[in-house]
Amino acid sequence: MRLTSLISVFALILAGCSSNVDSHKYYKFTIDSNDSKPSTSVIKPRVYIDTISILGAANQQALIQYIDKSRVNIANFHYWAEHPEHMLAQATNTYLTNEGFNSIPLAFAGDDVEQYVTLKIVINEFAGHFSEGAILRGNWYLYQRNKRNKVLLNSSSFSLSNPLDNDGFDALVMAHRNNWQSLMTAITNNLRQIEKQID
Mean pLDDT of 118-142: 93
* pLDDT tens digits for range 169-182: 899 999 999 999 99
Which backbone phi and psi does 56 adopt, to 5 degrees? 80, -155
Q: Is the pLDDT of residue 125 over 80?
A: yes
The Cα–Cα gap between 8 and 77 comes to 32
Give Cα 8 distance to the centre of its chain.
50
- Fill in the DSSP letter of residue 44: P
Would you say 121 and 154 are in contact if contact means Cβ atoms under 8 Å apart? no
- Give the amino acid at 182: S
Mean pLDDT taken over the chain: 83
- Give the amino acid at 48: Y
